[in-house]
Amino acid sequence: MSNSKNGISFFENVNRNFDKAAQFTSHPKGLLEQIKGCNSVYSFQFPVRTSRGLEVLRGWRVEHSYHKLPVKGGIRYSENVDEDEVKALAALMTYKCAVVDVPFGGAKGAIKFNPKNYGANDVELITRRYTSELIRKNYIGPGVDVPAPDYGSGPREMAWIADTYATFNPGRIDALACVTGKPVAEGGVRGRTEATGRGIFYGLQEACDNSEDMKALGLTKGLAGKRIVVQGLGNVGYHAAKFCQEGGGVIVALAEYEGAIYNPKGLDLDAVVKHRKETGSILKFPGATDVPNSLEALELDCDILIPAALEEQITQSNAPRIKAKIIGEGANGPTTVDAEEILLKKRVMVIPDMYLNAGGVTVSYFEWLKNLSHVRFGRMDKRFEHSAFDKMLRAVEESTGRSFKEHERVAITKGPDEIDLVNSGLEETMTGAYNQIRDIKKSNPKIPDLRTAAFLNAIEKIATAYMELGIFP
């Protein structure tokens, strides 16, 4: 939110990080200003008749960078959202897409309302009305601007957006590609719902597998056995915790808006979720200690802290008390610039949001490609690969005399389903991007942290795109 805890707005925080990285480049000031600023800010209000009567709501769509088209970014539904926040999130989307080599510019949208205070019919009316405003100004389209879910919205809302766009554009065969994060039955892709959380897991796994970096932190190699605190049990936080737990991590604390729970021996994530559904709170979970103030959970003793809720959770005031050796930013902007300076002095590894939570936009890219091609991933090659692997296996059996058991045969010869290909592509993307960032940091001792390296990586790629367009010499 723009009402920052440290007097600096969210967008100013993003630009401070940009400037910190820009000093390591030789690009002219004009080019850097073009990359940093928002290309277009559409602020509007629209009337809608809900069950509560006629209301006028505020909406935004910010298109940050046109160096690649379409631009891409979610739509936030929140009564606390403002223009500064949308601009900051749009800028982060630009840099995020560049870091993971997804060919989109950055954008973001928002509607200022709390969907929990409205019935499903009202939310649908508001979503469709907002979409019609975007269509009116050409702020949505498969080759123009492709929204996605964000805080407060989800697959249901994306399906309404796609349907509204298709209604205004009859006969357009690529209409479904106007938005991503849709239900699978409505043109979505398998694996999109859990993509951001899974991407966080892949990023943390890659970081922890580097023995040199772990030794410098006083930790052993690998994610297994690492004590993890997760703030936020929404879609991102839940899936990040789930995959980290399955990967051998120990979830010692979970925090939500009502408070936090802690057990140094580990928490059963699904049991906690079940308890919350039954009681309305994660507090008073059997075997765990309650922490009434959820922010205090950030200061618990752990190896990895995953803030996966809202921005500006780690600030100048609580950073000195953070005990984690690694902070994996699941949310957008959870750490302020001043807080990060304190953490770096304590030799904490901060894995930045603009890289670590890029799993969502990566799999959204796969969905966009699927919608444009009208072919489900794996449909054309699954049976062919199964047949080819089966022939190879039989040749091995004939030449060696070894006979494979049925379950071994199935595991070896199985052709990839859509979810297999999506997860494989996501892992490759997150692994490759992390090593790009790490190599940039290692190549220049003056680069202080992974965030600066990530921004530098993004700036260079965006600058190259502008220069290749002939806009800057």
**Contact criterion met (CB below 8 Å) for 236 and 331:** yes
Token pair 């922490």 is found at 291
Q: What is the largest CA-CA distance in the chain?
A: 78
**Contact criterion met (CB below 8 Å) for 306 and 241:** yes
Token pair 């379950």 is found at 407
**Contact criterion met (CB below 8 Å) for 10 and 84:** yes
For the chain, percent helix, then strand, then coil, each to nearest 5?
50, 15, 35
- State the amino acid at position 227 in one-letter form: R
Order the strands of the 40-50 sheet from edge to edge. Answer: 40-50, 53-63, 105-111, 71-77, 145-149
CA torsion sign, 65 to 71 to 73 to 75?
Answer: positive
Element (H, E) at 11: helix 10-22
- State the amino acid at position 372 in one-letter form: L
**Contact criterion met (CB below 8 Å) for 37 and 29:** no
The secondary structure of residue 348, as a DSSP letter, is: -
**Which residues are CB-contacts of 202 (< 8 A; sequence separation ≥ 6)?**
359, 426, 427, 430, 431
Tokens of 356: 């670590």
Distance CA 440, CA 447 (A): 8
The residue annotated as part of the active site, out of 36, 108, 226, 441, is 108
Distance CA 194, CA 470 (A): 39
Distance CA 137, CA 433 (A): 35
Task: Return the number of other C-beta atoms located less than 10 Å from residue 321's C-beta.
Answer: 11
Q: Is 242 among the catalytic positions? A: no
Active site residues: 108
